[in-house]
Protein backbone atom coordinates (compact mmCIF):
# COMPACT_ATOMS: atom_id res chain seq x y z
CA UNK A 1 0.00 0.00 0.00
CA UNK A 2 2.77 2.44 0.91
CA UNK A 3 4.65 1.75 -2.31
CA UNK A 4 1.58 2.49 -4.43
CA UNK A 5 1.03 5.73 -2.52
CA UNK A 6 4.69 6.69 -2.98
CA UNK A 7 4.55 6.10 -6.75
CA UNK A 8 1.26 7.98 -7.00
CA UNK A 9 2.79 10.99 -5.22
CA UNK A 10 5.90 10.90 -7.42
CA UNK A 11 3.71 10.79 -10.53
CA UNK A 12 1.64 13.74 -9.29
CA UNK A 13 4.69 15.86 -8.50
CA UNK A 14 6.33 15.17 -11.85
CA UNK A 15 3.20 15.79 -13.86
CA UNK A 16 1.86 18.73 -11.86
CA UNK A 17 3.82 21.41 -13.67
CA UNK A 18 6.03 22.36 -10.75
CA UNK A 19 8.76 22.87 -13.29
CA UNK A 20 8.73 26.52 -14.26
CA UNK A 21 8.65 27.23 -17.94
CA UNK A 22 11.59 29.45 -18.71
CA UNK A 23 11.06 32.13 -21.33
CA UNK A 24 13.19 32.06 -24.46
CA UNK A 25 14.51 35.55 -23.65
CA UNK A 26 14.40 38.21 -20.98
CA UNK A 27 14.02 41.92 -21.47
CA UNK A 28 15.35 44.84 -19.52
CA UNK A 29 15.35 48.59 -19.78
CA UNK A 30 18.39 50.79 -20.31
CA UNK A 31 18.59 54.55 -20.27
CA UNK A 32 18.97 56.18 -23.66
CA UNK A 33 22.14 58.10 -24.39
CA UNK A 34 20.23 61.38 -24.16
CA UNK A 35 18.59 60.57 -20.83
CA UNK A 36 21.84 59.28 -19.33
CA UNK A 37 23.55 62.54 -20.30
CA UNK A 38 20.66 64.60 -18.91
CA UNK A 39 21.02 62.71 -15.63
CA UNK A 40 24.78 63.26 -15.27
CA UNK A 41 24.46 66.95 -16.07
CA UNK A 42 21.59 67.48 -13.61
CA UNK A 43 23.53 65.76 -10.82
CA UNK A 44 26.72 67.72 -11.60
CA UNK A 45 24.83 71.03 -11.76
CA UNK A 46 23.23 70.39 -8.37
CA UNK A 47 26.64 69.85 -6.77
CA UNK A 48 28.08 72.86 -8.61
CA UNK A 49 25.29 75.09 -7.23
CA UNK A 50 26.36 73.98 -3.75
CA UNK A 51 29.97 74.90 -4.58
CA UNK A 52 31.38 71.40 -5.14
CA UNK A 53 33.42 70.10 -8.07
CA UNK A 54 32.43 66.52 -8.82
CA UNK A 55 32.49 63.70 -11.31
CA UNK A 56 29.27 61.89 -12.20
CA UNK A 57 28.90 58.48 -13.84
CA UNK A 58 25.77 56.69 -15.07
CA UNK A 59 25.87 52.96 -15.71
CA UNK A 60 23.45 50.44 -17.11
CA UNK A 61 21.99 47.74 -14.85
CA UNK A 62 25.17 45.68 -15.36
CA UNK A 63 27.38 48.48 -14.07
CA UNK A 64 28.82 49.40 -17.46
CA UNK A 65 29.35 53.09 -18.18
CA UNK A 66 26.69 54.92 -20.22
CA UNK A 67 27.52 58.58 -19.51
CA UNK A 68 30.15 60.53 -17.60
CA UNK A 69 30.98 64.13 -16.80
CA UNK A 70 33.77 65.63 -14.73
CA UNK A 71 34.20 69.16 -13.48
CA UNK A 72 37.68 70.25 -14.61
CA UNK A 73 38.48 71.28 -11.04
CA UNK A 74 37.53 67.95 -9.44
CA UNK A 75 40.24 65.60 -8.31
CA UNK A 76 41.40 62.94 -10.74
CA UNK A 77 40.45 60.23 -8.21
CA UNK A 78 36.78 61.19 -8.62
CA UNK A 79 36.74 59.60 -12.08
CA UNK A 80 37.20 56.06 -10.80
CA UNK A 81 35.31 56.61 -7.56
CA UNK A 82 32.14 57.92 -9.27
CA UNK A 83 32.20 55.01 -11.72
CA UNK A 84 32.71 52.44 -8.93
CA UNK A 85 29.89 53.94 -6.86
CA UNK A 86 27.50 53.69 -9.82
CA UNK A 87 28.64 50.16 -10.67
CA UNK A 88 28.20 49.01 -7.06
CA UNK A 89 24.72 50.55 -6.78
CA UNK A 90 23.72 48.90 -10.06
CA UNK A 91 25.12 45.50 -9.14
CA UNK A 92 23.47 45.38 -5.71
CA UNK A 93 20.45 47.49 -6.72
CA UNK A 94 20.97 49.36 -3.46
CA UNK A 95 22.15 52.89 -2.63
CA UNK A 96 25.78 52.68 -1.57
CA UNK A 97 25.08 54.97 1.40
CA UNK A 98 22.96 52.12 2.81
CA UNK A 99 25.78 49.63 2.29
CA UNK A 100 28.34 51.29 4.57
CA UNK A 101 27.14 49.11 7.45
CA UNK A 102 26.17 45.49 7.09
CA UNK A 103 28.22 44.88 3.95
CA UNK A 104 31.69 45.12 5.53
CA UNK A 105 32.54 41.65 4.25
CA UNK A 106 32.56 43.11 0.74
CA UNK A 107 34.92 45.97 1.55
CA UNK A 108 37.81 44.27 -0.25
CA UNK A 109 35.78 42.77 -3.09
CA UNK A 110 37.00 43.90 -6.51
CA UNK A 111 34.81 46.50 -8.17
CA UNK A 112 32.81 47.24 -5.00
CA UNK A 113 32.88 50.61 -3.23
CA UNK A 114 30.88 50.98 -0.03
CA UNK A 115 30.79 54.78 0.18
CA UNK A 116 27.67 56.89 -0.26
CA UNK A 117 27.06 58.50 -3.62
CA UNK A 118 25.89 55.55 -5.72
CA UNK A 119 22.12 55.39 -6.29
CA UNK A 120 20.15 52.91 -8.39
CA UNK A 121 17.89 54.36 -11.08
CA UNK A 122 14.70 52.47 -10.27
CA UNK A 123 11.52 54.08 -11.58
CA UNK A 124 8.06 52.56 -11.86
CA UNK A 125 9.29 49.15 -10.79
CA UNK A 126 11.98 49.03 -13.50
CA UNK A 127 15.71 48.95 -12.82
CA UNK A 128 17.50 51.09 -15.42
CA UNK A 129 21.01 51.33 -13.97
CA UNK A 130 22.67 53.62 -11.44
CA UNK A 131 24.35 56.97 -10.95
CA UNK A 132 27.52 57.62 -8.98
CA UNK A 133 28.81 60.99 -7.77
CA UNK A 134 32.21 61.71 -6.26
CA UNK A 135 33.94 64.84 -5.05
CA UNK A 136 31.68 66.61 -2.56
CA UNK A 137 32.74 66.65 1.08
CA UNK A 138 30.53 64.89 3.62
CA UNK A 139 28.16 66.86 5.85
CA UNK A 140 27.01 64.20 8.32
CA UNK A 141 28.34 60.93 6.91
CA UNK A 142 30.60 59.82 4.09
CA UNK A 143 29.01 60.35 0.69
CA UNK A 144 25.82 62.04 1.89
CA UNK A 145 26.22 65.10 -0.35
CA UNK A 146 27.25 62.92 -3.30
CA UNK A 147 24.08 60.87 -2.66
CA UNK A 148 21.95 64.03 -2.65
CA UNK A 149 23.41 65.15 -6.00
CA UNK A 150 22.87 61.69 -7.50
CA UNK A 151 19.23 61.74 -6.38
CA UNK A 152 18.75 65.18 -7.96
CA UNK A 153 19.99 63.74 -11.25
CA UNK A 154 17.49 60.88 -11.03
CA UNK A 155 14.70 63.30 -10.15
CA UNK A 156 15.52 65.27 -13.32
CA UNK A 157 14.66 62.27 -15.54
CA UNK A 158 12.07 60.56 -13.36
CA UNK A 159 9.00 61.97 -15.12
CA UNK A 160 10.30 61.02 -18.56
CA UNK A 161 10.88 57.44 -17.39
CA UNK A 162 7.52 57.18 -15.64
CA UNK A 163 5.70 58.03 -18.84
CA UNK A 164 7.97 56.07 -21.17
CA UNK A 165 6.51 53.15 -23.11
Instruction: Give the domain CATH number at 157.
Output: 3.30.450.150
Between CA 141 and CA 124 the distance in angstroms is 29
Task: Report pLDDT digits (tens) over 77-122.
Answer: 999 999 999 999 999 999 999 998 888 888 889 999 999 999 999 9
Nearest to 143 by CA among 72, 52, 64, 68: 52
- Domain with 68, as residue range(s), is 30-162
Q: Dihedral angle at the C-alpha atoms of 59, 152, 137, 68, nearest 10 degrees? A: 30
Tell me if residue 76 falls in helix, strand or coil.
coil
Which pTM does this prediction carry?
Answer: 0.84
Between CA 65 and CA 105 the distance in angstroms is 25
Query: Is residue 12 predicted with pLDDT exceeding 60?
Result: no
Task: Report pLDDT digits (tens) over 49-66.
Answer: 999 999 999 999 999 999
63 Cβ contact partners less than 8 Å away, ≥ 6 residues apart: 86, 87, 88, 90, 91, 111, 130
Q: Which of 11-20, 24-33, 123-132 has the lowest mean pLDDT?
A: 11-20
Between CA 98 and CA 117 the distance in angstroms is 10
What is the tally of structural domains in the chain? 1
8 Å CB contact between 40 and 68 = yes
- Domain assignment present for 101: yes
pLDDT, mean over the chain: 89
How distant, in Å, are the alpha carbons of 28, 51, 91 from that of 164? 14, 33, 23
- Domain assignment present for 17: no
Work out the percent of the chain whose per-residue pLDDT is above 90: 68
Return the half-sphere exposure (C-beta side, CA atoms, 13 A cut-off) of residue 163. 3
pLDDT band, residue 15 (cuts 50/70/90)? low
- Domain assignment present for 11: no
- Domain assignment present for 149: yes
- Domain assignment present for 23: no
- Domain assignment present for 47: yes
Question: Do the bridges between strand 65-70 and strand 118-123 make them parallel or antiparallel, or are there none, so unpaired?
Answer: unpaired
pLDDT band, residue 24 (cuts 50/70/90)? confident
Amino acid sequence: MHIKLFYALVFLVLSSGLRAEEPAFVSSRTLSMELANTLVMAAARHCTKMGYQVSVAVTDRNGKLLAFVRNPLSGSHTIDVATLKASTAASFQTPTIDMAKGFEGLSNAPGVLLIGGGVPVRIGGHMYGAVGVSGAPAKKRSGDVDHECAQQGIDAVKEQLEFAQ
